[in-house]
């Protein structure tokens, strides 16, 4: 096990940030913490990277206790905080050299590991980090987190505020790092990224709700979801919400996702109901369950 | 060592890259030194004075003339009514009114004794006190002249023996206030600059989030702190050097003592100031907070340093509280070494106090600096 978290609780003054959280991350796994803003993801990261002490519970990274062996953890993990936190007034190269030196290494020593990422920002190596675009900043931050060849990588919302193409590229990079044997703990508020992880933990209001592989999480979802669309979308939401046996109604892309309370749900009845409400161009079909649907139901 | 060297290098890069900051660091203190040294004067000059001459005699005009010939007074044309003169005082157009009574000349000849009314605007008590002294001096000289004249006329009269006082001002022969002020203002500038810069420095990393990134590295507390503060120590010494050159070249402040002594003292003194800066940094979350605390401390330090008001004239409790004011010792040492030519043994008490103070402050600061919370 690369990361072990046991019954961790942490509260700030009166607010509970995480409560009784436990999970384990296997070696060489990409483990995702999925949850909305304020769910407690960053708090968990800060505890695991020894920046914050938990009120209760134990945690260990690579077998090192986060309290007792914090020094060993600091030299063998890489951390990329959610907020860009490199020196904006130093150049790309200077930032990288600086962090390499802090870890007692050099760019050349671990160049293999960062090579693929670094060649993309190398043309701008004389540019100040503050003048980089969002995607490039994130690549630089990843390089800085990797420069000392860490065995575990902590990425706190690495793709927030990054364009879709850079996000895709970023995940491809993570997959390649995984092949090099690096364990990755990543958090994200984007549900579509969840399916790219090996296993995910759904977290909300400081509580871990579910831990499993993305496939199992969607496969084990016990309700049927319908994609519904009509011409008048706004009225549709309203009418569906007033349907007697509705369980849940929410927008999902171009469709409205509808879930019914009853196991024996009659599709024709809903169709007739919508027709009676003067809806036209009615379309109803079974939807493919996504992580987001599971999350909405939690 | 390599890590410390690298952090120092990084800090200097950042300082020199911020062109605006660089200007602030080097140009502002120089301007301040030039302006403050010339403006912050205790001399009272250009005193506006109005004569209400009810006598219009030879004696009254002589008195007026003796004020006119002094370069401290601007004598306004004589007023004939006291009421008008008081109105002028109300409007703030004059500082002093001297009212010469009727029959001034005659009574002076006849009775040897006469009183005149002097009214001084005392909104600023200190200035009024000084003005009073000036006026009395002129009146005394005038009195002496009259006595001399009357002696000439009535030789049989016994004249009290005059005692002639010739003051001799040591260490500042001409009572040039600049020589007194420049070393003090230089101390202020060096202190302010290093305190503000160091107190905002680590907070800045906190604000930007870079501190968090640094904290997850295996870097040691002492390496980081030394690396962060060393550049400001150098900067403080550079500012001191620039200031000393200006004092010598522009203000011609005497430098009697050994300059190495000043550098020795400053290098220890700066450690103390940097320690205070680090302490402020540790206890604030934003640069604004750090700035406010630094200002608050600085204002108290300045006002209780003995630079603008003599420590000897403060109430006892205030005098005692200046004992923890580092600026006080630095000002003392600067003046002692530069103006008096004191040696190491003379400044040893100050040196010991500042050294132990620096040690305690830095111990506190390092202890309160946490890599995690």
Q: What is the 3-state secondary structure (H, E, C) of chain A?
A: CCEEEEEEEEEECCEEEEEEEEEEECCCCEEEEECCCCCCHHHHHHHHCCCCCCCEEEEEECCEECCCCHHHHHHHEEEECCCCCCCCCCEHHHHHHHHHHHCCCCCCCCHHHHHHHHHHHHHHCCCEHHHCCHHHHHHHHHHHHHCCCCCEEEEECCCCCCCHHHHHHHHHHHHHHHHCCCEEEEEECCHHHHCCCCEEEEEECCEEEEEECHHHHHHCCCCCEEEEECCCHHHHHHHHHCCCCEEEEEEECCEEEEEECCCCCCHHHHHHHHHHCCCCCCEEEECCCCHHHHHHHC
pLDDT value, residue A22 = 92
Q: How far apart are CA B121 and CA B32, in angstroms?
A: 31
Six-digit token pair at B261? Answer: 């002594």
Question: Contact B216/A83, CB-based, under 8 Å?
Answer: no
Interface of B with A in 176-215 (CB under 8 A): 208-210, 212-215
Q: How far apart are CA A182 and CA A30, in angstroms?
A: 9
Residue A134 lies in a domain: yes
* One domain for residues A188 and A108: yes
ipTM summary value: 0.76
Question: Contact A90/B213, CB-based, under 8 Å?
Answer: no
**Nearest chain B Cα distance for residue A194, angstroms:** 26
For chain A, say whether B19 makes contact (Cβ under 8 Å): no
pLDDT value, residue B165 = 62
**Domain residue ranges in chain B:** 2-40+176-368, 47-153
Weakest-pLDDT range from A100-109, B47-56, B280-289: B47-56
* One domain for residues A185 and A55: yes
pLDDT value, residue B241 = 93
Facing residue for B212 by CB, picked from A81, A87, A90: A81
* One domain for residues A138 and A278: no
- Structural domain of residue A243, as residue ranges? 225-297
**Nearest chain A Cα distance for residue B223, angstroms:** 10
Please count the other Cβ atoms lying within 10 Å of the Cβ belonging to residue A227.
Answer: 17
Q: How many domains does chain A have?
A: 2
Facing residue for B216 by CB, picked from A51, A83, A98: A51
* One domain for residues A170 and A229: no
For residue A246, give every residue at least 6 positions away whose Cβ sits within 8 Å of its Cβ, in sequence order, or none.
A240, A258, A259, A260, A261
* One domain for residues A177 and A277: no
Q: With beta carbons under 8 A apart, name residues in chain A contacting B14.
A: 87, 89-90
Question: Contact B219/A99, CB-based, under 8 Å?
Answer: no
**Nearest chain A Cα distance for residue B211, angstroms:** 8
pLDDT value, residue A233 = 82
User: pLDDT band at residue B56, thresholds of 50, 70 and 90?
Assistant: confident
Question: Contact B218/A104, CB-based, under 8 Å?
Answer: yes
The CA dihedral of B53, B58, B60, B66, to the nearest 10 degrees, is: 130
Nearest residue of A to residue B2 by CA position?
A101
* One domain for residues A164 and A143: yes
Question: Contact A94/B17, CB-based, under 8 Å?
Answer: no
* One domain for residues A111 and A171: yes
Q: With beta carbons under 8 A apart, name residues in chain A contacting B4.
A: none
* One domain for residues A265 and A209: no
Alpha helices in chain B (DSSP H): 2-17, 19-39, 58-68, 82-91, 104-111, 125-153, 177-208, 210-215, 221-249, 259-282, 287-303, 316-321, 326-335, 344-368
Considering B22-26, B63-67, B92-96, B348-352, the range whose residues carry the highest mean pLDDT is B348-352
The CATH code of domain B47-153 reads: 3.40.1710.10
* One domain for residues A258 and A157: no
Residue A72 lies in a domain: yes
Chain A / chain B CB contacts < 8 angstroms = 66
Facing residue for A51 by CB, picked from B18, B215, B219: B215
The residue from A190, A215, A240 where one domain ends is: A215
* One domain for residues A239 and A191: no
Q: With beta carbons under 8 A apart, name residues in chain B contacting A104.
A: 3, 218
Residue A141: name the closest of A178, A104, A99, A113 by CA: A99
Q: CATH code at A196?
A: 3.40.50.300
Six-digit token pair at A223? Answer: 């309700």
pLDDT value, residue A221 = 82
Facing residue for A102 by CB, picked from B17, B212, B219: B219
Q: How far apart are CA B264 and CA B246, in angstroms?
A: 20
Span A233-278, pLDDT tens digits? 888 888 888 888 888 888 888 888 888 887 777 778 888 888 888 8
- Phi/psi class of residue A68: alpha, beta or left (left: φ > 0; alpha: ψ in -120 to 50)? alpha
Q: Are B373 and A47 in contact (CB under 8 A)?
A: no
Question: Contact A98/B213, CB-based, under 8 Å?
Answer: no
- Residue with tokens 């990054």, as numbered in its chain: A162
For chain A, say whether B174 makes contact (Cβ under 8 Å): no
- Residue with tokens 């092949």, as numbered in its chain: A179
- Residue with tokens 């190269």, as numbered in its chain: A93
Strands A199-204 vs A207-212: parallel, antiparallel or unpaired: antiparallel
Please count the other Cβ atoms lying within 10 Å of the Cβ belonging to residue A210.
Answer: 16
**Directed axis angle between helix B221-249 and helix B259-282, to 10°?**
140
Average pLDDT of B242-270?
91
Residue A43 lies in a domain: yes
Q: CATH code at A243?
A: 3.30.70
Please count the other Cβ atoms lying within 10 Å of the Cβ belonging to residue B332.
Answer: 20
Question: Contact B3/A75, CB-based, under 8 Å?
Answer: no
For chain A, say whether B21 makes contact (Cβ under 8 Å): no
**Nearest chain B Cα distance for residue A169, angstroms:** 24
Question: Contact A84/B17, CB-based, under 8 Å?
Answer: no
Q: Are A53 and A44 in contact (CB under 8 A)?
A: no
Question: Contact A77/B17, CB-based, under 8 Å?
Answer: no
Nearest residue of A to residue B13 by CA position?
A90
CB-side neighbour CA atoms (13 Å) of B69: 10
Question: Contact A51/B218, CB-based, under 8 Å?
Answer: no
For chain A, say whether B310 makes contact (Cβ under 8 Å): no
Question: Contact A74/B3, CB-based, under 8 Å?
Answer: no
Collapsing DSSP to helix, strand or coil, B119 comes out as strand
Q: How far apart are CA A183 and CA A27, in angstroms?
A: 5
**Nearest chain A Cα distance for residue B210, angstroms:** 5
Question: Contact A86/B213, CB-based, under 8 Å?
Answer: yes
Per-residue pLDDT of chain A (298 residues; tens, 9 = 90+): 889 999 999 988 888 889 999 999 999 999 999 888 888 898 999 999 988 888 999 999 999 998 888 888 988 999 998 888 889 889 999 999 999 998 888 888 888 888 888 888 889 989 999 898 888 888 899 999 999 999 999 999 888 878 888 888 889 989 999 999 999 999 988 888 888 999 999 888 888 888 988 888 888 888 888 888 888 888 888 888 888 888 888 888 888 888 888 777 777 888 888 888 888 888 888 888 888 888 887 7
* One domain for residues A96 and A184: yes
Phi and psi angles of residue A231, each rounded to the nearest 5 degrees, phi first:
-70, -45
The residue from A215, A238, A273 where one domain ends is: A215
Residue B238: name the closest of B30, B1, B40 by CA: B30
Mutate to test the interface with A, among B202, B215, B218, B285 (most CBs of A within 10 A): B218
Six-digit token pair at A242? Answer: 């007033």
Residue A220 lies in a domain: no
**Nearest chain A Cα distance for residue B313, angstroms:** 49
Span B106-162, pLDDT tens digits? 887 777 677 788 888 888 777 788 888 888 888 888 877 777 776 555 555 554 445
Q: How far apart are CA B19 and CA B2, in angstroms?
A: 27
Strand partners, A59: A5
pLDDT value, residue B371 = 62
Longest dimension (CA), chain B: 99
Question: Contact B13/A94, CB-based, under 8 Å?
Answer: yes
* One domain for residues A65 and A142: yes
Question: Contact A74/B13, CB-based, under 8 Å?
Answer: no
Q: With beta carbons under 8 A apart, name residues in chain A contacting B215.
A: 51
pLDDT value, residue B288 = 92
**Nearest chain B Cα distance for residue A157, angstroms:** 15
């Amino acid at each position: 096990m690369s990361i072990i978290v046991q019954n961790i609780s942490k509260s700030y003054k009166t607010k509970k940030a995480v409560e009784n959280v436990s999970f384990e991350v296997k070696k060489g796994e990409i483990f995702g913490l999925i949850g909305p803003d304020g769910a407690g993801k960053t708090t968990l990261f800060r505890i695991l990277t020894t920046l914050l002490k938990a009120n209760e519970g134990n945690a260990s990274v690579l077998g090192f206790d986060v309290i007792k062996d914090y020094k060993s953890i600091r030299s063998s993990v890489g951390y990329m905080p959610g907020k860009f936190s490199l020196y904006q007034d130093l150049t790309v190269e200077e930032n990288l050299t600086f962090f390499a030196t802090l870890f007692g290494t050099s760019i050349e020593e671990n160049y293999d590991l960062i090579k693929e990422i670094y060649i993309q920002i190398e043309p701008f190596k004389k540019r100040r980090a503050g003048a980089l675009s969002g995607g490039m900043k994130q690549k630089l931050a990843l390089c800085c987190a990797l420069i000392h060849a860490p065995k575990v990588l902590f990425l706190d919302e690495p793709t927030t505020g990054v364009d879709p193409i850079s996000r895709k590229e970023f995940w491809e990079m993570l997959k390649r790092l995984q092949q090099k044997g690096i364990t990755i703990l990543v958090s994200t508020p984007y549900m579509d990224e969840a399916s790219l992880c090996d296993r995910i933990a759904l977290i909300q209001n400081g509580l871990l709700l579910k831990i499993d592989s993305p496939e199992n999480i969607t496969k084990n979802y016990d309700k049927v979801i319908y994609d519904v669309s009509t011409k008048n979308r706004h009225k549709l939401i309203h009418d569906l919400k007033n349907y007697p046996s509705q369980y849940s109604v929410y927008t999902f892309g171009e469709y409205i996702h509808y879930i019914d309370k009853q196991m024996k749900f009659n599709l024709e009845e809903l169709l007739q109901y919508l027709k009676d409400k003067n809806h036209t161009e009615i379309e109803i079909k079974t939807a493919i369950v996504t992580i987001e649907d599971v999350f909405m139901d939690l | 060592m390599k890590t410390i060297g690298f952090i120092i290098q990084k800090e200097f890069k950042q300082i020199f890259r911020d062109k605006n900051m660089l200007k602030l660091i080097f140009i502002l203190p120089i301007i301040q030194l030039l302006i403050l040294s010339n403006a912050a004067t205790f001399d009272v000059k250009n005193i506006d004075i109005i004569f209400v001459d009810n006598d219009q005699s030879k004696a009254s005009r002589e008195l007026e003339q003796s004020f006119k010939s002094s370069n401290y007074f601007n004598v306004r044309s004589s007023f004939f009514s006291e009421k008008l003169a008081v109105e002028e005082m109300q409007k703030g157009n004059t500082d002093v009114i001297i009212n010469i009574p009727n029959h001034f000349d005659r009574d002076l000849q006849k009775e040897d004794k006469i009183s005149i009314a002097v009214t001084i605007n005392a909104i600023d008590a200190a200035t009024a006190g000084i003005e009073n002294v000036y006026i009395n001096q002129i009146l005394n000289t005038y009195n002496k002249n009259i006595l001399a004249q009357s002696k000439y006329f009535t030789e049989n009269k016994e004249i009290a023996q005059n005692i002639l006082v010739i003051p001799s001002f040591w260490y500042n022969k001409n009572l040039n206030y600049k020589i007194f002020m420049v070393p003090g203002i230089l101390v202020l500038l060096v202190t302010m600059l290093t305190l503000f810069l160091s107190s905002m420095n680590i907070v800045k990393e906190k604000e930007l989030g870079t501190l968090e990134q640094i904290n997850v590295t295996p870097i040691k507390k002492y390496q980081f702190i030394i690396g962060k503060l060393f550049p400001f120590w150098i900067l403080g010494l550079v500012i001191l050097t620039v200031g000393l050159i200006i004092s010598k070249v522009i203000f011609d402040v005497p430098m009697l003592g050994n300059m190495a002594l000043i550098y020795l003292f400053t290098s220890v003194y700066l450690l103390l100031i940097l320690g205070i800066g680090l302490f402020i940094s540790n206890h604030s979350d934003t640069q604004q907070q750090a700035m406010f605390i630094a200002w608050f401390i600085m204002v108290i330090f300045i006002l209780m340093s003995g630079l603008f008001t003599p420590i000897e004239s403060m109430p006892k409790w205030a005098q005692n509280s200046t004992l923890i004011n580092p600026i006080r010792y630095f000002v003392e040492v600067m003046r002692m070494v530069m103006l008096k030519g004191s040696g190491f043994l003379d400044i040893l008490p100050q040196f010991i106090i500042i050294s132990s103070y620096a040690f305690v402050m830095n111990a506190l600061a390092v202890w309160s600096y946490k890599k995690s919370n």
